[in-house]
Amino acid sequence: MGLGSFAKSEGGRAATLLAPPFLYALALLALPILAVVLFSFWTQDFMTIDTRFTLANYREFFDKPIYGVLLGRSLMVSGIVTLVTVLLAYPVAYFLSFHVPSHRKSLWLFLITIPFWTSYLIRVFLWKVILGYNGVINSGLVGAGIIDEPLSFILYNVNAVIITLAHAFAPFAILPIFVALEKIDRSLIEASRDLGETRLTTFFRVTLPLSMPGLVAAVLIVFIPTIGDYVTPELMGGAGGKLIANMIQTQFLQLNNAPMGAAIAMVAMVCVTAIALVFVALNRRWLRGRG
């Protein structure tokens, strides 16, 4: 068999192996997004969908302040959740990578993934019990004499949404950071210490830059899904904690206006994509500057 026929057979074999997952991803990802894009340029009058091209939905989005307020609040909440989650996840991942013996790391990772054993909805309801007016926190503080009456600002507002989302997405931030820290060559850290650097300067000049890929992955993994989360704001946010995802759900399921919901989803998707691309570009520029 000649080299050309061998390459052709290898290429055909690779194409055969890649075709099913590619078609599967196309059917479950690309086609639904295409459907949302098409719907955003249509209109709907109760049960009748007008498929004529129009920008009316996008004009309504930018004309009515409520949509901008919800989108801004969603971006703010997602940004805070991402910041809090990553700041809390990095020390945990650092401890696992540098201070836990190798034979115990699997056990610790196993313990971190335990929350995934329960339904996301159940975890949200558990936080309602913890943060409730007569919940665990308020009952404990009142019983200890720290406060005279239960706190009312920790549930059914944005604060409750942030706390619940930060807990829910913590494992998603810990794992990529841990993987990045595990890939760091320990001899580089030892060389830095041998050259007279302190633990703190070694962390900022060696460990942190080398773990940046995991940090970027953690930020994106947390930031992007929280924009589209509507269960937590619905159950924990109250009237003042609704996010853009709740408006999309309302348009689709309650107002029966799928085109408007699709338009809102497209605007949110474009905003999130733009922010993610800018963040990745700034990170690459920072890394090149250090190099």
Q: Give backbone dihedrals phi and psi of 45, rounded to 5 degrees, phi first.
A: -120, 95
Q: Can you give the pTM of this predicted structure?
A: 0.87
Give the mean pLDDT of the chain: 89
**Could you read off the pLDDT of 177-229 as tens digits, one per residue?**
999 999 999 999 999 988 888 999 999 999 999 999 999 999 999 999 999 99
| Domain 65-290 annotated CATH 1.10.3720.10 | yes
**Could you read off the pLDDT of 119-169 as tens digits, one per residue?**
888 999 999 889 888 888 888 888 888 888 888 788 888 999 999 999 999
**Could you read off the pLDDT of 71-123 as tens digits, one per residue?**
999 999 999 999 999 999 999 999 999 999 999 999 999 999 888 888 888 99
